[in-house]
A = this chain, B = another copy of it.
């Protein structure tokens, strides 16, 4: 192998911090971000990214879901690109690392390859996946799901999704100039492999005093919409024993979700969103909606936990029987994703080039990622670096500059290593 290339840690971290400060930063001193997908801030970030990649000689393709593929040519004529993908959008009150680090690291890799005049066998692609967060247009990992053709929501279904203001996603793509013509379909715009550097978003690496997670799978997850219905009434005049109070029943069910997850130890279950039918303090609401997010290591455990939760609902509904009922709709699910042996090996070897074995551990991802979808149609793995206190989806999200740089270096190593294996015909 040629002498090892080094990423420029200062440039990586400066570029990451400067672009976050410029586009979507929450008011200082917070280092939080609000860069909702396809917002003006997202557009500016995209425009900058496209211009940087073009300056590096990449061919930039925008697909029908606004995914950006910036492709640095390789020498082989018959090879698809090796992808380095993640996302630049954030939660409404998110941090600077979730997704953003993966794309910034990919850009740094492209810069290093250019500076060193490296010719790769396969083309190398940076990918910015649209709407990973699902925070503006409901449906996380939406555009990588369409690209994989394995998501239950079609291209047209995603285009029809509306944000809170009722804007259709297709229109939002058009408005910021990112409704591209490249098919959003891996069969027409495919990848040789997909690598993603991401922060862990959990406390496990930090607790184990490790620097790198070699991600072998993504846990399964399902979301359920629950609607509880009771009978609307006046808060002053409806006697307590006569009430059929959807709010109280929903509250008891939300408590049961947590208690069941804690007791069964099958995985995690969360209610993050609740909405009452009325905005009046003086009205017993007729209906309350909430969403349960269930995640477990395997699909079977997801099913078991969901069953245990809905079993726990039954006695509560029986007790609140005075006209209260509930219905369940499954809104979304991502089956357990097992990553590819070759990509896992590549990431592990690339990490061990940089740090000792005591610093590296295999792990599964407890959050969903675009890589969960890519893994269904091309060899995929991920590199995790530690999140301070395990905090994510929060302005306090933090990963040290050293860990950001280490992750980017491993991403560079992995891409070159995988390319070498393809060239030699091993993969």
Contacts and interface: CB of A to CB of B under 8 A. Distances in A.
Contact of A255 (B135, B252, B265): B252
Given A247-B274, A272-B278, A282-B134, A237 B201 contact: yes
B245 A258 contact: yes
Nearest to A332: B281
Contacts of A135: 279-280
A126 interface: no
A203 B242 contact: yes
A233 B254 CA distance: 17
A287 B154 CA distance: 35
Interface of A is mostly: loop
Contacts of A291: 281
A370 to B, nearest CB: 14
Contact of A92 (B258, B265, B271, B278): B278
A170 to B, nearest CB: 21
Interface in A80-110: 91-93
A234 B243 CA distance: 35
Given A232-B393, A273-B281, A248 B255 contact: yes
Interface residues of A, number: 72
A130 interface: no
A273 B276 contact: yes
Contacts of A411: none
B252 A236 contact: no
Contacts of A247: 254, 271-272, 274
B283 A393 contact: yes
B268 A238 contact: yes
A127 interface: no
A296 to B, nearest CB: 10
Contact of A241 (B243, B250, B251, B262): B262
A284 B36 CA distance: 18
B268 A236 contact: yes
Contacts of A258: 240, 243, 245, 248
A393 B233 contact: yes
B252 A240 contact: no
A366 interface: yes
A394 interface: yes
B272 A235 contact: yes
Contacts of A414: none
A239 B203 contact: yes
A92 B280 contact: yes
A233 B279 CA distance: 27
A216 interface: no
Contacts of A270: 235, 245, 281-282, 284
Interface of A: 91-93, 133-135, 138, 140, 164, 200-203, 219, 221, 223, 231-243, 245, 247-248, 250-252, 254-255, 258, 261-262, 265, 268-274, 276-286, 288, 291, 293, 295, 365-368, 390-394
30 contacts: A91-B278, A93-B277, A93-B278, A133-B280, A134-B281, A140-B282, A201-B236, A202-B237, A202-B238, A219-B236, A233-B392, A234-B392, A235-B393, A236-B295, A236-B367, A237-B390, A240-B258, A240-B262, A240-B265, A240-B269, A241-B262, A242-B390, A247-B254, A251-B252, A251-B254, A251-B255, A270-B284, A272-B283, A272-B284, A282-B393
